[in-house]
Amino acid sequence: MQKAATDVAKEYETVSQTIEALPTLETLRTRIDAAGISQDKIASQVTEFFIQLQARKDQLPGIDSEEAIPAPLLSPKWIEEANAQSKSLGELAAKYDEDAKSDNRDEIRKKLNSLQARKWLSEHRAAIDEEINRLKLLNQIEKAKKSTNTKALSQKKGELAEALITDAFVKRFETELRALGASQVKVELVKSKVSKVLTPIEN
């Protein structure tokens, strides 16, 4: 009997040490908020139940007989609601996991960036068109400025002189003078840097 009593005492000690520590009221409130239990009535029931559990745990060291063991607590109603809430959250988490597998956020982000760019262009259309027209005008001015370069004009005048005032032209001119009875007018073909001109020769 002594051995049996010793074995029971050891078993009691082992079981007592395996009882987990109950959360403090502050930790419990944090867990209640994290679980999404927003109703004050249910939250207060949970808190009260854990207070009773802590009181029963505090009684354990002083129990020396079966008769001293307090009656077990009845399963509170809020446990059913908590189980339903847990199931709902589990289903929601599974849905999120499923959605994550077909995640197309990159594609959506690209579409969003494209839409934002189009929105910006639409909002600044007038300013953009004005800038485009300004740049076109500047380009035209630059082209016109280059076309008025004196060197280019001189070169072009020289090319025209070479093309138009030819020996055949001079001979034709002299022929016309004779036909008009003005052969006594002498002309000389004078070359300059940029042109060739016909200059009357003074007698």
Model pLDDT for residues 57-70, shown as the tens digit of each residue: 887 777 777 777 77
First to last CA, the chain: 166
CA 191 to CA 8: how far, in whole Å?
136
pLDDT digits (tens, 9 = 90+) for 141-165: 888 877 776 776 677 777 777 766 6
pLDDT given for residue 196 in this prediction: 45
H helix intervals, 148-201: 150-164, 167-179
Domains of the chain, by residue range, sit at: 2-101, 150-200
Fill in the DSSP letter of residue 193.
S
- Whole-prediction pTM value? 0.36
